[in-house]
Each structure stands twice: as structure tokens, then as C-alpha cells.
């Protein structure tokens, strides 16, 4: 019969230094393997062998005892003293909003703390919190450190059975890995999860004629200016919402996009026609801080912007799928069709990878129009 060995890790502080205590039942195999472990020492006070607490040593423990002993992290994190000097982040409202009534377990405080420390945006934080709370409520009676790879893979099967979107499953994996790897600091390979294969869908794009109908058919000056600036600079909806009056650089014909996706600033195009429209809009509406503000001031809402786009599409008699982001995709595609280098399009749109920009080569009609189908070379009667 195969012997099951366990090594329980303990959080030790000795002479103001942090160590990993190794607790296990007397075992010659474990003793022999640990013998050559660098910086191994014995604490008479704690009656434990211990090693310096660092990621390299944890990685080595997992590698050394793989298939030989189960490394139990449960008490390693429970033994850690609470750092009362660090203020608890005020994300309580965000957490309440993300919870549904059927949930019973809330996101651990350290999860929220980490999100704040690495400055996740509220929307990204909300998605991660909600995904992780769904996960932990699938195991209502199990300690988080008792959840293993088999449990997590079973949860993935549960999501697949529910027929959730691939992006939802990807987010669940990211949230789980975020907790175990970044919050708790476990090695990256500790939870080696298989990711679902993504479907590479082509973006919807409006033609130039459709874009003209969308903007030209909008009588409301504020809405017309809003549609024009999205298409003029290829803005994301979040970028439009946070755009301030001071970000319009009329002298340079540029729009300054601050703290965009990935925390990056960039500049993009401001067309002469759009600038003319913005000046008319400003004189009539007099926004105070943000370029587009709600009725009570402050940022314009994402829902209101989407409603403006939908209404404009309806007036233009465009029945195919489309959204605010379709205007951005149309900006990139139309630039490509007019001969703009992909590298410049990538910079204007704020894409981190050129592969993201290259998708417009798959929806552009310019190249396809110049390709002759082989059937047209056949001498056949039609």
C-alpha cells in the first residue's frame, strides 16, 4: 500500500526574520530529502525544521516532494499575524453590488486589498470579485486552502455545463489564479488550469456610407458631437466617458486619452470637421469639466452613450449588429483601407499588441475587391 505523506507548512518568525516551518510525522524519506536542503535549520523553541520564506524555497519544496508528499499550505497562511497597520480598503460598496442574494460567502479582505494595491479599475475589480465569489460559493463548506486542482477543474466542468461564454470561463480562471498566486503567493504551477479554446470572432464594422448616415441623421447636437468624436479618434466608451475639456488639443488637432486600458496615455486624431462640431456643441452646452456630462453634471453614463448609438443606427436604418465599439472598429478598418500603416493604427487605438490591430486586415474589403474568384476565369455559360 502506498504511503501518503504530508508536510504542513507553518509561518514562523525567529529573530524578526520570517521562515517556513516544516511539520511532518517522523519519516526517513522526508528526512533524507530535506537533509541537503540549503539553509535548513532546527528551532528548539518551535520544535520544527525551518527554511527561509521565499518563493524559490516554496518552488523547490513542491518540486522535491512532487509525487512523494502532499504540501499543505492551510496553516501556513492561518498562522500569519494580521497587519493592523495597513488600512482595510474601502471596497465594501463594490462588494455589496457584486453579490447576489443567493451567495453566502464574500470575497476575502486580502483579495480586495490586493486589487487596490495594484490599482485595478473599479470595473475590472467588480468582474474579478464577482467571478471569485461565484467560485467560492460553489464550495460553501470548504476552506479556501483546502480547495485543490480537482475541485477547480470540477468547477470548470460546472461552468461548461451551464454553457457560459468562453470569456466568463477565462475570467473565472483569472480570478482563481489571482487569489492563489498573487494574493497568497503560491507558485504559478500550483493550479495548472486548462484554458478553454477561444472563438476568434471578426468585429462588426460599419461602412463609410453607413457611418455618414449614423452621424448625419442625428439632429441632437450633443449626440452628434459624441458620435463624431468616437469615430474621429477610435475611442473606447470608457475613454469617451472620462474625456475632459482640457484633453481636446485643438491647436494640434489631437485628442489626449489619459489612463486608458492598461494604464497608458496616448494621443489620437481630431478631425477638422469634428473640431468644428465640438466648438458648436461647447458654445451651446457649456460643459464644466468633462466634455460630455450628465444632466446633473459629472461623467456621462455608458448606458446613455449606448442608447445614443442604438437610436442613431435605427434612424439610419441599419439593422445589423452594432454598438459604440463598432464605431471604434470602423475607425481602425477605414484607416487601414485608406493605406494607413498598421503600426500607426496600433498607436492611435492604444493596442498593446500588433496582433489586435491585425484583425482589421480580416474585415477590410479593400484587398478582397482586388482578388478575382477563379470562377470568373472560366468560359462558362450563365
Known catalytic residue at 360: yes
- H-state helical runs in the chain: 28-35, 55-64, 74-78, 92-98, 109-117, 122-136, 149-161, 166-177, 208-216, 221-233, 237-241, 272-285, 302-315, 324-337, 342-349, 354-358, 366-369
User: Which helix (H) or strand (E) element contains residue 11?
Assistant: strand 5-14
Determine the Cα angle at 351 with ends 164 and 270, to 5°. 120
Total length of the chain: 382
Of the residues 236, 253, 258, 266, which is catalytic? 236
Residue 105 near residue 137, CB atoms below 8 Å: yes
Q: Specify the long-range contacts of residues 161-165, CB closer than 8 Å, at least 24 apart.
A: none
Active site residue 261: yes
Cell numbers of 69, please?
508528499
Cell of 44: 528548539
Cα distance between residue 22 and residue 37, in whole Å = 12
CB atoms within 10 A of CB 264: 11
| Identified catalytic residue from 253, 261, 266, 315 | 261
Active-site pick, 120, 155, 231, 360: 360
DSSP code at position 209: H
Pairwise CA distance, residues 267 & 347, whole Å: 8
Residue 329: active-site member: no
17 is catalytic: no
User: Strand 254-257's sheet: what is its strand order?
Assistant: 248-249, 254-257, 266-269
Answer yes or no: 236 catalytic: yes
User: How far is 262 from 147, CA to CA, in rounded Å?
Assistant: 31
Q: Which of 106, 177, 328, 329 is catalytic?
A: 328
- Nine-digit cell string for 275: 473640431
Told to judge if 106 belongs to the known catalytic residues of this protein, a careful annotator would answer: no
The residues annotated with a catalytic role in the active site are 236, 261, 325, 328, 351, 360
Amino acid at each position: 500500500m502506498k504511503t501518503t505523506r504530508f508536510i504542513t507548512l507553518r509561518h514562523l518568525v525567529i529573530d524578526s526574520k520570517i521562515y517556513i516551518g516544516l511539520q511532518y510525522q517522523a519519516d526517513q524519506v522526508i528526512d533524507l530529502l530535506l537533509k541537503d536542503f540549503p539553509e535548513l535549520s532546527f528551532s528548539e523553541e518551535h520544535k520544527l525544521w525551518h527554511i527561509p520564506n521565499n518563493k524559490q524555497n516554496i518552488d523547490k519544496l513542491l518540486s522535491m516532494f512532487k509525487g512523494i508528499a502532499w504540501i499543505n499550505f492551510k496553516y501556513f497562511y492561518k498562522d500569519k499575524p494580521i497587519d493592523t497597520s495597513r488600512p482595510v480598503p474601502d471596497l465594501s460598496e463594490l462588494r455589496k453590488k457584486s453579490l447576489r442574494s443567493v451567495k453566502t460567502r464574500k470575497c476575502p479582505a486580502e483579495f480586495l486589498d490586493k486589487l487596490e494595491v495594484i490599482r485595478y479599475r473599479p470595473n475590472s475589480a467588480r468582474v474579478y470579485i464577482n467571478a471569485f465569489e461565484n467560485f467560492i460559493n460553489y464550495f460553501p463548506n470548504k476552506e479556501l486552502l483546502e480547495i485543490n486542482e480537482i475541485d477547480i477543474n470540477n468547477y470548470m466542468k460546472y461552468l461548461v455545463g451551464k454553457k457560459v461564454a468562453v470569456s466568463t470561463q477565462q475570467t473565472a480562471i483569472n480570478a482563481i489564479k489571482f487569489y492563489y498566486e498573487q494574493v497568497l503567493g503560491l507558485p504559478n504551477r500550483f493550479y495548472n488550469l486548462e484554458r478553454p479554446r477561444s472563438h476568434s470572432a471578426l468585429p462588426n464594422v460599419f461602412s463609410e456610407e453607413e457611418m455618414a448616415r449614423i452621424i448625419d441623421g442625428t439632429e441632437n447636437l450633443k449626440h452628434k458631437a459624441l458620435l463624431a468624436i468616437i469615430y474621429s479618434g477610435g475611442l473606447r466608451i470608457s475613454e469617451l466617458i472620462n474625456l475632459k475639456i482640457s484633453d481636446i488639443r485643438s491647436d494640434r488637432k489631437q485628442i489626449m486619452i489619459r489612463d486608458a486600458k492598461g494604464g497608458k496615455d496616448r494621443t489620437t486624431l481630431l478631425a477638422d470637421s469634428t473640431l468644428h462640431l465640438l466648438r458648436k456643441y461647447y458654445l451651446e452646452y457649456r460643459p464644466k469639466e468633462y466634455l460630455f456630462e450628465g444632466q446633473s453634471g459629472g461623467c456621462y453614463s455608458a448606458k446613455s452613450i449606448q442608447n445614443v448609438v442604438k437610436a442613431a443606427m435605427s434612424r439610419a436604418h441599419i439593422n445589423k449588429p452594432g454598438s459604440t465599439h463598432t464605431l471604434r472598429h470602423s475607425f481602425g478598418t477605414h484607416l487601414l483601407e485608406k493605406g494607413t500603416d498598421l503600426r500607426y493604427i496600433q498607436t492611435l487605438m492604444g493596442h498593446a499588441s500588433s496582433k489586435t490591430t491585425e484583425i482589421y486586415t480580416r474585415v477590410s474589403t479593400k484587398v478582397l475587391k482586388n482578388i478575382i474568384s477563379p470562377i470568373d476565369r472560366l468560359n462558362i455559360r450563365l
